[in-house]
Amino acid sequence: MKKVLLMASLAILPVNSLLAANYTIDPGHTYASFAINHLGFSTMRGKFNKQSGSLSYDPAGKKASVTIEIDAASIDTGHEKRDQHLSSPDFLNAVEHPTITFKSTKVGWSGDKLSTVTGNLTILGVSKAVTLTVSSINCGEHPFNKKQVCGFDASGSIKRSDFGVNYGLPAIGEVLDLQIELEAVKD
Amino acid sequence: MAQILDRPEFQSAVIPFIVAMLVYVGLKKFTAGAWIWALFAAFLISSSLINGATLSPLTGTRKIILLVLGSLILAGLVPYLIRQLKLQRAVAPGLTILALLWVFGTVVARMDLIGIALFLAGGVGLVLWLAWTFDRIANDDSRLHGAGFTLMLGTGLSATAAASALLGQLALSLAAASGGMLLAWVLQGKAVGSGRVSGSISTLPYVLSAALIGLAAIIFARLPWYALIPLAAIPLATSLVPVKPDARFLSALVNSLPGLIIALAVSYWVWQAGSSNSSGY
């Protein structure tokens, strides 16, 4: 009986392995953006224009991981002088710490859909656990280039002082709302 | 009260000015190094308000804060520990060059060979120049602090205009502290030339602060490198003031004037260059 179970397990394993896939982030369809309170008046929004990374997704095995690397100097709020200031030592210190990274450590599922991604977000060299809520995730064949593509939308929030980004507190908001829209192409 | 302490003009101007003045007046009778402790107290409070009382993560800017405070402690202690003036004279440039490597080492390590060579030549050259020109005025309180006040003012305003308010505020807090201390010195109203010798180690805080904050504004922010050339000329310009008025008020005025003109001109130029495509934000 044990041998039968073992054989059955070995037979199933390759099928699950086939469902698991590794993807490379498509920078042209990936947006890491943020919103922060500006002096109590309004919400200021910005995004990063350069990012890279990878995604591993296995809904059958309930396994997934994501790694995103963001070029801190590519911050874009639609105002060149402000972007220079945000890249300076006052905020992201992009020369000393050129990369912002997110590496997942744990994922949550709702049925067969990815629902949360918890990982270490590293800003200014400081890593803190952050949980992103995944509002949608879809995988399938790209209608034009016929490649397998996965995409998801996720959001979360952080306190910037947790990462040592203290300048302008409390006038400039403490809580940063993060939004990541990501597409990745199967390797 | 908390709202007042959050305001940049209080953090980097009003508070260091008042603190330095009070500490200088309070300690003047007890120690010739009163001005050093006046700057130390003012910068300790200001930097805590500007940066928050934290050193984590230990960024280049936070290393600068630590080093400026350390340089002030050394400037207060070294004259008692090292008696030989020649050795004292080597301390300011030697320690500042080591400080440069600590603050900028990780960034410079990512540069190509030309970048590294330019950094070493420019950084070490700036330090040696500042050490030499400050050394010429080390024993003249009025010239030393006139040059220190205006150099830090120019560095602070330029750094702020070059998109790093944090670096700018740190330099401006030192300028305000020097200004407050200089005013207290003026208000005492005694004649210059009491015979007290400051010693060249007293230049360490000014040499180190100006070099580190100036270079940080270039490397970490967007201060044009050539803006440091006229700023670095301030101590030399101060040393060349031909008159030596007896009255402290006049002495402080004439010895601060050349540096003030240079500092304001450079700051205005950097601000104009940086704001050409900006409508403010």
pLDDT in tens, chain B (281 residues): 777 888 889 999 999 999 999 999 998 888 778 888 999 999 999 999 998 888 888 999 999 999 999 999 988 887 677 767 777 778 888 999 999 999 999 999 999 999 999 999 999 999 999 999 999 998 888 899 999 999 999 999 999 988 789 999 999 999 999 999 889 888 876 544 433 445 567 788 999 999 999 999 999 998 999 999 999 999 999 999 988 888 888 889 999 999 999 999 999 999 888 764 444 55
Q: CATH assignment of A15-186?
A: 2.40.128.110
Distances (CA, A) of B107 to A96, B66, B103: 6, 19, 9
Residue B280 lies in a domain: no
Q: Does residue B279 sit within a domain?
A: no
Nearest to B55 by CA among B45, B46, B65: B65
- Alpha carbons B257 and B238: distance in angstroms, whole number: 8
Interface test with B, best of A87, A95, A166 (most B CBs within 10 A): A95
Whether residue B132 lies inside any domain: the answer is: yes
Spatial distance between the Cα atoms of B201 and B90, rounded to a whole number of angstroms? 8
Give the residue from chain A lying closest to B64, CA to CA: A89
In the block, which residue shows the tokens 């201390």? B181
Domain span at residue B30?
2-272
The answer, for B48 touching chain A at a CB cutoff of 8 Å, is no
- Residues of B whose CB is below 8 A from A174: none
Q: Does B277 touch chain A (CB under 8 A)?
A: yes
Answer positive or negative: Cα dihedral of B125, B71, A168, B263. Answer: negative
Give the number of other Cβ atoms within 10 Å of residue A53's Cβ.
20
Q: Is B96 part of a structural domain of the chain? A: yes
Contact B281 A167 (CB under 8 A): no
- Burial of residue B25 (CB within 10 Å: 0-12, 13-18, 19+) is middle
Enumerate the domain spans of chain A. 15-186
Is A39 near chain B, with CB under 8 Å?
A: no
When divided into structural domains, chain B yields a total of 1
Q: How many pairs of residues across A and B have Cβ atoms under 8 Å apart?
A: 73
Tell me how far CA of residue B256 lies from CA of B40, B147, B193, in angstroms: 21, 6, 18
Q: Confirm whether B277 is domain-assigned.
A: no
| Structure confidence by residue, pLDDT tens digits, A23-82 | 999 999 999 999 999 988 999 999 999 999 999 999 888 999 999 999 999 999 999 889
**How far is the C-alpha of B182 from the C-alpha of B149, rounded, in Å?**
8
Alpha-carbon distance of A44 to A66, in angstroms, equals 27
